[in-house]
C-alpha cells in the first residue's frame, strides 16, 4: 500500500525523476561506461514502462484513487447510512428488551428477534470482513466466512421465530429461565 502510494506521488510521475535517472546513468562509474548506450537503454526502458499495453500493473497503480472527492460521488459504497441504521438499531434495543420482558407478547418478541439478529449480523460481518481478508487467507476463505455469517444469522432468526410461534416466546423463555432456582440444601 505504501509503495503504491509512493508511486502515485508527483515526484515519481514527473519528468524530474526521469531526468535524475538519466543523469545518474550518464555519470562515470568506476569503470568506463558507454554513456550513449546507457542513456539509450534508460530511454527505451522509460518508454516501454510508460506504454499502457506493456504494463497494466503500473497503469492500474496510477489510476487507483482513494480521495474523498472520488468516493463521495459513488452512492453504492456510501456506508454512512448503514452506520446510522446500525446505531439506531442499537439505541432501539436498549428500551425494547426491558419492555419486552415486562409485557411479553408476540409483536415485541418478533421485533426484538429481528433487531437482535440484525445487530449480531452486522457485528459478525464486521469481524469477518476485518479479520478474514483475502490478502491473508486467499480468495476462498473470506467468502466462506461471510457465507457462515449469513447462515448463522438466518438460523438464529429462524430459531427465534420458532420459539415465538411454537413455544412460549422469547420474553417468557427468559422469565422462565430466571425463575429457576438452584437446588437449596435444607
**Residues annotated within a binding site:** 119, 131
Which is nearest to 150 in space by CA: 129, 134, 180, 166?
A: 129
Which is nearest to 127 in space by CA: 104, 107, 152, 102?
A: 152
> What's the CA gap between 137 and 131, in Å, rounded?
10
Which is nearest to 79 in space by CA: 42, 38, 41, 125?
A: 125
Which residues belong to the annotated binding site for heme b?
A: 119
Decide: 64 and 4 in contact? Cβ < 8 Å.
yes
Which residues belong to the annotated binding site for a ubiquinone?
A: 131
Decide: 7 and 63 in contact? Cβ < 8 Å.
no
Amino acid at each position: 500500500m505504501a509503495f503504491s502510494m509512493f508511486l502515485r506521488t508527483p515526484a515519481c510521475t514527473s519528468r524530474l525523476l526521469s531526468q535524475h535517472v538519466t543523469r545518474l546513468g550518464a555519470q562515470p562509474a568506476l569503470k568506463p561506461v558507454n554513456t550513449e548506450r546507457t542513456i539509450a537503454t534508460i530511454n527505451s526502458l522509460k518508454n516501454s514502462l510508460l506504454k499502457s499495453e506493456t504494463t497494466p500493473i503500473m497503469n492500474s497503480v496510477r489510476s487507483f484513487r482513494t480521495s474523498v472527492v472520488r468516493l463521495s460521488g459513488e452512492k453504492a459504497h456510501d456506508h454512512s447510512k448503514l452506520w446510522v441504521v446500525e446505531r439506531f438499531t442499537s439505541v432501539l434495543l436498549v428500551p425494547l428488551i426491558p419492555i419486552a420482558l415486562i409485557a411479553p407478547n408476540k409483536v415485541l418478541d418478533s421485533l426484538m428477534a429481528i433487531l437482535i439478529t440484525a445487530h449480531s449480523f452486522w457485528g459478525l460481518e464486521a469481524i469477518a470482513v476485518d479479520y478474514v481478508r483475502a490478502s491473508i487467507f486467499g480468495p476462498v476463505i473470506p467468502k466462506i466466512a461471510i457465507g457462515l455469517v449469513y447462515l448463522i444469522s438466518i438460523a438464529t432468526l429462524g430459531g427465534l421465530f420458532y420459539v415465538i410461534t411454537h413455544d412460549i416466546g422469547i420474553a417468557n423463555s427468559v422469565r422462565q429461565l430466571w425463575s429457576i432456582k438452584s437446588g437449596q440444601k435444607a
